[in-house]
Structure 1
Amino acid sequence: MATPMTAAAFVQALLDEGVHIVEVGAWEAHNRNHMGPWGPVNGVMIHHTVTSGSAATVELCRKGHSSLPGPLCHGVITKDGKVHLVGYGRANHAGLGDPDVLRAVVNESALPADNEATVDGNRHFYGFECENLGDGRDPWPAEQLAAIEKVSAAICRVHGWSAASVIGHLEWQPGKVDPRGFTMSSMRERVAKRLGSKPSVPTVPKPTVPVVDLSKLVAAARSNPSAKGTPVTYAGVRVVEAALVDAGLLEKRYSDGHFGSSTIDAYARWQRRLGYSGSAADGIPGKASLTKLGKAHGFTVVA
């Protein structure tokens, strides 16, 4: 039993598990929450769509139809293994189901046979619709089965659930047969195996450190205070101005990319802070003072 993840946390959990996601429209705010609560959540439910064609399947699950408005799930898993996020919150996917099954999911115990439908499953389960005709002959590509495994493990990992918290629609509501074409027991085995190892977290690239060219910066500083001619512009001016703002020496409104009188005065204050005085604190950057500013505020200097 858990509070549903935020939409941002949900996306991050899927990405951390190596899921290829496709965000469809304003999915984060597309839900049926006005019809009832979503949560506490207790598990993950897998369905098949009885459709073919990825684009049409995604659109149907996003919009629903007159008798069953969308979203019809949180994610649509197409045959290529992509997970299309179509809604977040209460979704029309589970319907009423067996309270004994819900109890077993909460306790992570063996599932009983479902023989009644009296509990609101839309409140308690994350739901994924999988593109498949559901006739037992339509194939389930390896990429699609891997995506089902990954999304299930991602959610279980965040909530601290075991694979026993992953069920099929056919195990929830009497008369349902989905998903047909693989067994949920085999899928739970896959999820359990995956949960036994660490997720493959994508490598986050290191942020690029700005580089400021001293000669270009000095040229900009010497040209801008003058009323004659065209001031020299240089992108590094904004980097230095941002550092001066961060140091409390320049008002943000003067951080405009031009090394004008306000920036000159601010840089002179930086020089005096370092112990310079007289002509050595004239507001024109020097290598030593600029290098120290860069070390303190995240940029490097080339002469």
Structure 2
Amino acid sequence: MATPLKADRVLAVFRSAGLTVREVRSWKIHNRNHMGPWGPAHGVMIHHTGPYSTESGMVGLCYNGRSDLPGPLCHSVIGKTGTVHMVGWGRANHAGRGDGDVLAAVIAERALPTDNEADTDGNTHFYGAELINAGDGRDPWPEKQLDAAARWAAALCRAHGWTERSVIGHLEWQPGKPDPRGFSMNDFRARVARHLKSPQTKPAAPKPPTPTYAPPVFPAGLAPGKERPSAKALQKALRAAGFLTITDRDLADNYGPRTQAAVVKFHNRYPQFRTQGVAKDPAIGPTGWKYLFTLAYGKK
């Protein structure tokens, strides 16, 4: 059982997976939640669109729906070049009623039984993607599109801690449905599994700031590195560096909550100095002392 991801969260999840994402109109609040529950989420469902004229036309159709079936008709539309169009978030008219035994197998992440009943609401429990394809067995499936679809599915599985067994095709859910046609869902799940096993591409972490000050001139008895400075020395340095507001009268020979909170502010700004368990200085670490004192007493 899983709570469906929020719209902003899923957008970050997809982009972290290396997907090109296009946001369509008010997709974040475009849903059918007034018609029934959305969640708990149990899996991911893959569809093909069927006959189409243009990609933009199919995206519009999946956003708006038809006269007999209001939109959104899925959560994402994935085009031939791999672009992921976000057309809705929440309950969407994509899965319809399917086999409860299949849902139980998805939840347990085991082999799927044959879908021979339509007794369970799938719109409540499945994320859905429509892959643009005529579905006639002749329309080709570009590698960019299949890879994007597998990345899309893997990103959702990774976010929920699911395996590729949580990914199914519409034809495995609802009796009589043919989609997706033109590739095997077992092959598709194998693609998803490869993405789940591969390290996820993440943006490079920003480099930590480096001191731009000249060598500091420390007040007498406050040079770090030789011995552990007193609590008052730490408080004075934190004050001089702008992390602590305190008067001389309030300086104290103890590491009280105000001092600890100021050290936390220092660490939040300069996380590369967040050191634990250092014998000389468990509060801030010797390299953290040196940089703090440079900030406090160094000369630009």
The normalised TM-score by structure 2 is 0.69
Give, in angstroms, the shift of residue 201 of structure 1.
Answer: 1.5
**Counterpart-to-counterpart distance in 2, 1:101 and 1:168:** 11
Which 4+ residue blocks in structure 1 deviate beyond 2 angstroms?
Answer: 202-209, 245-248
8 Å Cα contact 1:52-1:133 kept in structure 2: no
Deviations 1:178-216 (A, max 9, x none): 00011100000111121112211133666999x9xxxxx
Per the alignment, residue 20 of structure 2 pairs with 20
Secondary structure at the aligned position of 2:93 is classed as coil
Structure 2: gaps spanning 5 or more residues: 213-241, 246-291
8 Å Cα contact 1:15-1:202 kept in structure 2: no
| One-letter code aligned to 2:173 | W
Per the alignment, residue 29 of structure 2 pairs with 29
Secondary structure at the aligned position of 1:122 is classed as coil
**Counterpart-to-counterpart distance in 2, 1:148 and 1:32:** 23
Q: Please state if 1:86 is matched with 2:75.
A: no
Deviations 1:224-279 (A, max 9, x none): xxxxxxxxxxxxxxxxxxxxx9988xxxxxxxxxxxxxxxxxxxxxxxxxxxxxxx
**Counterpart-to-counterpart distance in 2, 1:134 and 1:197:** 30
Per the alignment, residue 66 of structure 2 pairs with 65
| One-letter code aligned to 1:46 | I
8 Å Cα contact 1:16-1:200 kept in structure 2: yes
Per the alignment, residue 174 of structure 1 pairs with 175
**Counterpart-to-counterpart distance in 2, 1:205 and 1:24:** 31
**Counterpart-to-counterpart distance in 2, 1:167 and 1:141:** 20
Give, in angstroms, the shift of residue 76 of structure 1.
Answer: 0.4
Deviations 1:122-145 (A, max 9, x none): 000000001000001100101000
Structure 1: gaps spanning 5 or more residues: 212-244, 249-291
Per the alignment, residue 4 of structure 1 pairs with 4
| One-letter code aligned to 1:110 | A
| One-letter code aligned to 2:204 | T
**Counterpart-to-counterpart distance in 1, 2:131 and 2:5:** 22
Q: Please state if 1:48 is matched with 2:51.
A: no
**Counterpart-to-counterpart distance in 2, 1:196 and 1:52:** 37
**Counterpart-to-counterpart distance in 1, 2:163 and 2:244:** 50
Q: Please state if 1:132 is matched with 2:130.
A: no
Give, in angstroms, the shift of residue 52 of structure 1.
Answer: 3.7
8 Å Cα contact 1:17-1:154 kept in structure 2: yes
Secondary structure at the aligned position of 1:151 is classed as helix
| One-letter code aligned to 2:12 | Q
**Counterpart-to-counterpart distance in 1, 2:158 and 2:191:** 14
Secondary structure at the aligned position of 1:201 is classed as coil
Q: Please state if 1:123 is matched with 2:160.
A: no
**Counterpart-to-counterpart distance in 1, 2:87 and 2:209:** 34
Task: Please report the RMSD computed on the Cα atoms of aligned residues, expressed in angstroms.
Answer: 2.6
Note closer, same or farther for the CA distance 1:114–1:23 as it changes in structure 2 (3 Å cut): same
Secondary structure at the aligned position of 2:123 is classed as helix
**Counterpart-to-counterpart distance in 2, 1:205 and 1:69:** 45
Per the alignment, residue 217 of structure 1 pairs with none
Among all aligned residue pairs of Structure 1 and Structure 2, give the percentage whose two residues are the same amino acid.
Answer: 57
Secondary structure at the aligned position of 2:25 is classed as coil
| One-letter code aligned to 2:27 | W
Secondary structure at the aligned position of 2:85 is classed as strand
Matches within 5 A, 1:131-280: 131-203=132-204
The normalised TM-score by structure 1 is 0.69
**Counterpart-to-counterpart distance in 1, 2:120 and 2:182:** 27
Note closer, same or farther for the CA distance 1:118–1:17 as it changes in structure 2 (3 Å cut): same
Note closer, same or farther for the CA distance 1:93–1:207 as it changes in structure 2 (3 Å cut): farther
8 Å Cα contact 1:18-1:202 kept in structure 2: no
8 Å Cα contact 1:43-1:166 kept in structure 2: yes
8 Å Cα contact 1:114-1:172 kept in structure 2: yes
Larger proportion of helix: 1
